[in-house]
Structure 1
Amino acid sequence: MEFYKKIIYDYLVEIGTHSTLAKYLNMLALLIVLLIVVFILDYILRRLIRALFSKIAAKSKTRFDDILISNKAPRNIAHIIPLLIVIEYIPIIFFDFPVFQTFIRKTLEVFAIVLALWIVRSLLNTVKDYLKSLPNLKDKPIDSYIQVFMIFAWIVGSISAFAVITDIPFVKFFTGLGALSAIIILIFRDTILGFVASIQVSINDMVRIGDWITFDKYGANGYVTEISLATVKVQNFDNTITTIPTYALISDSFQNWRGMTDSDGRRIMRSLFVKQNSIKFLKDNEVEKLKAVQLITDYLENRQSDIKTYNTNINANKELLINGRNLTNFGVFRKYIDSYLNHHSGINKDMMLMVRQLEPTTQGIPLQIYAFSSDKRWANYEYIMADIFDHLIAALSYFELELFELPSNTDFIKPERVKTT
């Protein structure tokens, strides 16, 4: 390179005594030659470096180099040598034009900074894509950390470019930004909050990509598809996308269903509201009739025997059912539900299973079923729950129980009297 620089320099000294027009023409000719050489060299280097990277990627087992190529890192790296050549020869070509030389030198230095940022961005995007392809890290907020590094890179690059343009030393220019720190904090408020929130979300493992979350304040109810520095994207079950500020995850309350999806079952907690005036003691003949219900046959026989023994021992007057101990249709139905759930194939028997009576309300007595379905998939879960309650609602009449239901308009219409002749 020094040999060619000397030839060009001697050529310029030789024509130094020529007219200004001749100087312009020679400068233009050398510039065109330089640009042609640089463009050809840049094209060749891009092809060579890309081919080299592709050859290495084909032989390697890791996907990192494949992702590196897809993010155009080799292409950006190939621009370095042509840019260095241009920077090296521009002062010689513009030897007689110091004003042009200064302007073009600064322009090339700024472009070098931009090229460095392109390379850094390609490398960071490669690291991000590679880490997200790993099974252990695919649900982590990698985007947030990469965006933080990229923001710092752009800040440093912007300061460097401004320092080059104004001829102010980088260190001196950087220290002078202390007075503008309040404005910078104000401009990057959301970014700073998002960065802090991303760290807290990651450390506390509050949300992962793929988690099902419910965030009523923002109308989000679906799966997390992306966690970035400023926003969290949630794909709702109606396929709409809800965007939530990242810092809202630590400042507001939301519901994460990961515990349910990681467990062995999905909770069923629903009540049947039974009319209070339909609850009664069971007579012996009614008990005998209910023994035909196979799920509670053994229970009724054992229970009836125990009750008769107890009532005999205390000499209870059974002319009135209230005396002594008795079975109720409500209690027997509760036992029937418990037995039915224990025999249901869709219920996880290893998890909590309970049928309980809640405090009476104006709509009746809630009889709550608390259990866990073995299938956690939404459609199957809804099918299991509907199947259970279809059966229980239909079974109520066998125990002479009634569900509470608000009257409709037709309930207030008097039936027409049948005319007799």
Structure 2
Amino acid sequence: MDTLITFFEEQAPWVQSLVGLAALIAASLAVNYVLKHVILRVLAPYLDRSTKTIDKSAAWAATVAPLMVISQGIRLVPHLPEAIYTVITNVAQALIVISVAMAIVKALAYGNELYERLPRSKNRPIKGFVQVVKIIVLCGAAIIMISVLIDQSPLLLLSGLGAITAVLLLVFKDTILSLVASVQLTSNDMLRVGDWIEMPSMQADGDVIDISLHTVKVQNFDKTITTIPTHRLVSDAYRNWRGMSESGGRRIKRSIVLDQNSIRFLSDEEVVDLKKFRILKPYLAAKRDEIAAYLKWHPRIGEGFTLLVRQLDPGPQGLPIQIYCFADTTAWGEYEDIQADIFDHLLAIVPEFGLTVFQEPSGRDFAALGSSR
């Protein structure tokens, strides 16, 4: 060993520097290999195998060790100019700051993934808050990294931020608005992943699939994706159908328009004439009871909800008779079947009372009129 040291000292200064740098690089690579390819592989079975985020966090944390070897060991390399020592040390320390920051960012992402596995995460997502913390960590890391590179105190950089506050507010305007909006959406439980929302101003009509700091993604029913700035969900109007989904019933609100010329009283003679047909008596009695109770006994009309059959204001097209009730399901297909079944029955039963449904004349009607003339 003494002979090797003596031989090394007898070499030219540039050879000593080159050998020292090679040894330092080899040492840092060895430390990096041991940490990432030995220790992390040993620990791998004990880490969460359902995600790669924790692996990335551990990898970034392991990067700190070889950088520290370079940062602290560069002074052991002989015959280097002082400026080289300073540059390599500062760059290594800056990279350490980046590695630590990225390890924290990935750890935060993993924490959010763990939270999203909990049932309450659907009602109280924290993704927006996690992204805010990430921004703070990265901004802090950027300030420290710059201060390390220029070999100045971070307080010096922070003192200069006051002069560019207005610029920062302008640059991060959307982020600040989105942060406030995220807090409002979460604290007031205004939006959850899985909610069906309608927002005509953004051409969104579908299910919320992601809520982040800056954007909310909505998968429309035609399978397109609409991206909405988070702050727009506070400043603009939108409809959330969650209340309907949780109630278990969906409203049916539709009208049939009767021709007003067909509306009249049934004369006494007509009543007497009808009663003369004994065969019709059971039919008429049953039909009257069926019509009177049709909506109430319908098996798919939800109980405990408002049920109305009412007249709306007469208009040029006729007299609207509105059906206002609730289906006992929120499933789209079943809802449409129930609604169609009700109005199929109503449209079919209208002629039984001598009434007609109003309909704008079509080309076929005009052709029939011309033929009759």
Taking structure 1 as the reference length, the TM-score comes to 0.80
Q: Give the conservation status (yes or no) of the 8 Å contact 1:132–1:139.
A: no
Match of 2:235 among 238, 251, 257: 251
Closer/same/farther in 2, CA of residues 398 and 151 from structure 1, 3 Å limit: same
Cα distance between partner residues in 2 of 1:69 and 1:356: 59
Cα distance between partner residues in 2 of 1:352 and 1:247: 35
Match of 1:402 among 356, 359, 362: 356
Closer/same/farther in 2, CA of residues 12 and 121 from structure 1, 3 Å limit: farther
* Counterpart secondary structure, 1:389: helix
* Counterpart secondary structure, 1:214: strand
Q: Give the superposition deviation at 1:393.
A: 0.9
Q: Give the conservation status (yes or no) of the 8 Å contact 2:90–2:151.
A: no
Q: Give the superposition deviation at 1:404.
A: 1.0
The farther-off stretch of 164-173 and 243-252 is 164-173
* Residue of structure 1 equivalent to 2:178: 194
Q: Give the superposition deviation at 1:293.
A: 4.7
* Residue of structure 1 equivalent to 2:30: 40
Closer/same/farther in 2, CA of residues 200 and 416 from structure 1, 3 Å limit: closer
Unpaired stretches in structure 1, ≥5 consecutive residues: 1-6, 58-62, 300-334
Cα distance between partner residues in 2 of 1:371 and 1:117: 57
Closer/same/farther in 2, CA of residues 85 and 363 from structure 1, 3 Å limit: same
Match of 2:147 among 139, 163, 188: 163
Q: Give the conservation status (yes or no) of the 8 Å contact 2:57–2:103.
A: yes
> Which digits, 9 at most, give the CA deviation of each residue in 1:132-167, with x for residues without a partner?
111111343322111100111111111111111222
Task: Give aligned-pair identity as a percent.
Answer: 35
* Counterpart secondary structure, 2:304: coil
Q: Give the conservation status (yes or no) of the 8 Å contact 2:9–2:16.
A: no
Cα distance between partner residues in 1 of 2:372 and 2:358: 28
Match of 1:292 among 283, 296, 313: 283
* Counterpart secondary structure, 1:271: strand
Cα distance between partner residues in 1 of 2:160 and 2:119: 45
Closer/same/farther in 2, CA of residues 14 and 347 from structure 1, 3 Å limit: same
* Residue of structure 2 equivalent to 1:87: 71
Closer/same/farther in 2, CA of residues 167 and 11 from structure 1, 3 Å limit: farther
> Which digits, 9 at most, give the CA deviation of each residue in 1:3-49, with x for residues without a partner?
xxxx9xx879945xx6xxx2222222222222223223212211344
* Residue of structure 2 equivalent to 1:141: 125
1:126 aligns with 2:99: no
Q: Give the conservation status (yes or no) of the 8 Å contact 1:67–1:130.
A: no
Closer/same/farther in 2, CA of residues 189 and 201 from structure 1, 3 Å limit: same
| Counterpart mapping for 1:201-280 below 5 A | 201-280=185-264
RMSD: 2.5
Cα distance between partner residues in 1 of 2:23 and 2:196: 61
1:355 aligns with 2:309: yes
* Residue of structure 2 equivalent to 1:315: none
Q: Give the conservation status (yes or no) of the 8 Å contact 1:261–1:376.
A: yes
Cα distance between partner residues in 2 of 1:128 and 1:69: 10
* Residue of structure 2 equivalent to 1:181: 165
* Residue of structure 1 equivalent to 2:335: 381
Cα distance between partner residues in 1 of 2:352 and 2:39: 82
Q: What is the one-letter code of the residue matched to 2:295?
A: L
Cα distance between partner residues in 1 of 2:160 and 2:372: 98
> Which digits, 9 at most, give the CA deviation of each residue in 1:95-148, with x for residues without a partner?
532121111111111101110111011111101111111111134332211110
Cα distance between partner residues in 1 of 2:30 and 2:126: 39
Cα distance between partner residues in 2 of 1:12 and 1:119: 43
Cα distance between partner residues in 2 of 1:229 and 1:295: 62
Closer/same/farther in 2, CA of residues 228 and 417 from structure 1, 3 Å limit: closer
Q: Give the conservation status (yes or no) of the 8 Å contact 1:296–1:339.
A: no
* Counterpart secondary structure, 2:359: coil
The farther-off stretch of 81-90 and 220-229 is 81-90
Q: Give the superposition deviation at 1:417.
A: 6.3
Q: What is the one-letter code of the residue matched to 2:40?
A: R
Closer/same/farther in 2, CA of residues 416 and 367 from structure 1, 3 Å limit: closer
Unpaired stretches in structure 2, ≥5 consecutive residues: none
Cα distance between partner residues in 2 of 1:386 and 1:71: 55
1:371 aligns with 2:325: yes
> Which digits, 9 at most, give the CA deviation of each residue in 1:348-396, with x for residues without a partner?
1222111111111111111111111112111111111112111211111
Q: Give the superposition deviation at 1:416.
A: 3.6
Q: Give the conservation status (yes or no) of the 8 Å contact 1:49–1:78.
A: no
Q: Give the superposition deviation at 1:264.
A: 2.3
* Residue of structure 2 equivalent to 1:53: 43
Closer/same/farther in 2, CA of residues 282 and 88 from structure 1, 3 Å limit: same
Closer/same/farther in 2, CA of residues 357 and 104 from structure 1, 3 Å limit: same
Closer/same/farther in 2, CA of residues 268 and 95 from structure 1, 3 Å limit: farther
Closer/same/farther in 2, CA of residues 276 and 203 from structure 1, 3 Å limit: same
